[in-house]
Amino acid sequence: MKEWFTLLAEYVPDLPSDVYGEGEYMQAFEKEIADLLGHEAAVFMPSGTMAQQIALRIWAESRQNFSVAMHPLSHLDTAEHFSYQFIHNLKRIQFGIPEFGDRLLTTKDFQNLKETPGSILLELPQRFLGGYLPPWEDLQVTVQWARDHDIPIHLDGARLWESQPYYSEKSLADIASLFDSVYVSFYKGLGGITGSMLLGPQSFIEEAKVWLRRMGGNLRAQFSFVASAKWGVENNLPKMQQYHERAKALAKIINTFPNFSTSPQVPHTNMFLIFLPGDPAKVKSILLEASRECGVFFFGGLRASQHPQYSFFEVNILNQGLDLDLEKFKELMQVLADKLV
């Protein structure tokens, strides 16, 4: 807490607080991000949960179609207590029977739907799979299919910043402007306190502000979130390429051990899943032991994998990951390999 307040006291200009979403500092930041992502308008919001529900609700109302085509592992279907159903009466369309959430959706999946969804939500990268991204061409085709069928297509860009290096010749605006609406987060890769932004056409954003008020997100003041978000864009956005390179370097080391794997094998972003042999309790205790021995803390929320002999956890490479000594990391992996036999 103290560090943040001290940093931000220095960082912010001599401007007054925003008041219920209005304020020079906030609006300038909204414009900055709208320009960066190639969208007409933007509104800062306290959370992505709010931003995405609002986007889907607006699209549903505009088409009078409350069905949504989104991945079964989307944030809305895994991390929001099904709010989209409980408070918006939205319904997810099932992809196939039975439905598996073990890979990215492709254009074919949308083509095979037997009904027309009110909207599509795509998450780039697909976080719970390990941060997979579709090839640029596939993305184009999916978006074109949505356009051809007049289906609004929304981007869950919680980790959009982290995705750009994968599409190396494409800018953030090239990616984001494919979509009718976009949500981005300021606290994951960017390291802000919290906060999100919803982007889209001006009229869409005006309507989003009504829904933001309804959801209880039109706060008296958000300058602490806004300032930390702006600080994150300035300080951490330029490092996304480095985070990605470092994730690839670590995954490469991990994959040299016969019984260790990452997914993706070559990370698409700064994140990946690491699979280690053993049940979560065993792997956890050995990981802790090895981390202490080597003085390198490499850890996450261990979970049982589908394969009965493996556990896994999610790895996100940020500033601490850049500071990691690769030789030390190799040593840790070796100690781990020796212990996890």
213 binds a second copy (CB under 8 A): yes
Window contacting a second copy (CB under 8 A); options: 8-16, 119-127, 131-139, 265-273: 8-16
- Report the site for a second copy in 281-340 (rule: CB under 8 A): none
CB of 7 to a second copy, least distance (A): 8
Amino acid at 221: A
CB of 283 to a second copy, least distance (A): 23
| Strand 196-200 versus strand 41-45 pairing type | antiparallel
190 binds a second copy (CB under 8 A): no
CB of 92 to a second copy, least distance (A): 15
25 binds a second copy (CB under 8 A): yes
Both tokens of residue 47? Answer: 């959370």
Question: DSSP letters of 133-171?
Answer: ---HHHHHHHHHHHHHTT--EEEEETTHHHHGGGGTTS-
Contact (CB, 8 A) for 154 and 179? yes
Closest to a second copy by CB, 1 or 341: 1
- Report the site for a second copy in 75-94 (rule: CB under 8 A): 80-83, 86-88
CA 122 to CA 105: how far, in whole Å?
9
Closest to a second copy by CB, 222 or 311: 222
Window contacting a second copy (CB under 8 A); options: 47-55, 66-74, 121-129, 171-179: 47-55
Side-chain half-sphere CA neighbours of 194 within 13 A: 9
Pick from 230, 226, 209: nearest CA to 18: 226
Contact (CB, 8 A) for 104 and 129? yes
Q: Would you call 132 helix, strand, or coil by DSSP?
A: strand
Strands of the 271-277 sheet, one edge to the other = 261-263, 271-277, 310-316, 303-304
CA-only gyration radius of the chain, Å = 21
Among 204, 223, 231, 298, binds a second copy (CB under 8 A): 223
Contact (CB, 8 A) for 314 and 301? yes
Among 147, 206, 210, 293, binds a second copy (CB under 8 A): 210
Closest to a second copy by CB, 2 or 114: 2
270 binds a second copy (CB under 8 A): no
114 binds a second copy (CB under 8 A): no
65 binds a second copy (CB under 8 A): no
Q: Omega into 277 within 30° of 0, i.e. cis?
A: no
Among 93, 113, 221, 335, binds a second copy (CB under 8 A): 221
53 binds a second copy (CB under 8 A): yes
CB of 179 to a second copy, least distance (A): 20
Binding mask 227-266 for a second copy (x = CB under 8 A): x---------------------------------------
Both tokens of residue 260? Answer: 């260790």
Identify the burial level of 320 via C-beta atoms within 10 angstroms of its C-beta, where 0-12 means exposed, 13-18 middle and 19 or more buried.
exposed
Q: Which residues bind a second copy (CB under 8 A)?
A: 1-2, 4-6, 8-9, 12-17, 25, 45-51, 53, 80-83, 86-88, 187, 193-194, 210-211, 213-225, 227
